[in-house]
Amino acid sequence: MNQLTHLAVIADGNGRWAEKRGLTRSEGHEHGLHKIDDLLHWCVDLGIPFLSVYVFSTENWNRPKEEVDALGELADKYFDRHREFKESNVRVLISGCADNLKQTSLDKIAHLQEETKDCTGLTLNLCANYGGRREIVDAIAKGARTEEEITAALYHRLPPPDLILRTGGHQRLSNFLLWQSAYAELHFTHTLFPDLSFGEVKHIKSAFERETRKFGGVIIDKRTV
Ligand code: IPE
Ligand code: IPE
Ligand code: MG
Is the distance from CB of 10 to CB of 54 less than 8 angstroms? yes
Residues 6-154+179-210: name the CATH superfamily. Decaprenyl diphosphate synthase-like (3.40.1180.10)
- Of the pLDDT bands very low, low, confident and very high (cuts 50, 70, 90), residue 220 is confident
Instruction: Give residue-wise pLDDT tens across range 178-203.
Output: 999 999 999 999 999 999 999 999 99
Query: Ligand 2 centre and the CA of 190: distance in Å?
Result: 14
The whole-angstrom separation of Cα 156 and Cα 117 is: 12
Question: For ligand 2, is residue 12 a contact (CB within 6 Å)?
Answer: yes
- Catalytic residue from among 14, 60, 129, 175: 60
Mutate to test the pocket of ligand 1, among 12, 53, 54, 68 (most ligand atoms within 8 A of CB): 12
Q: Whose atoms come closest to the Cα of 96: which ligand? A: 2
Say what the pTM is.
Answer: 0.97
Instruction: Give residue-wise pLDDT tens across range 62-120.
Output: 999 999 999 999 999 999 999 999 999 999 999 999 999 999 999 999 999 999 999 99
Please name the residue whose Cα sits nearest to atom 1 of ligand 2.
174
pLDDT of residue 225: 62
Q: Is 60 a catalytic residue?
A: yes
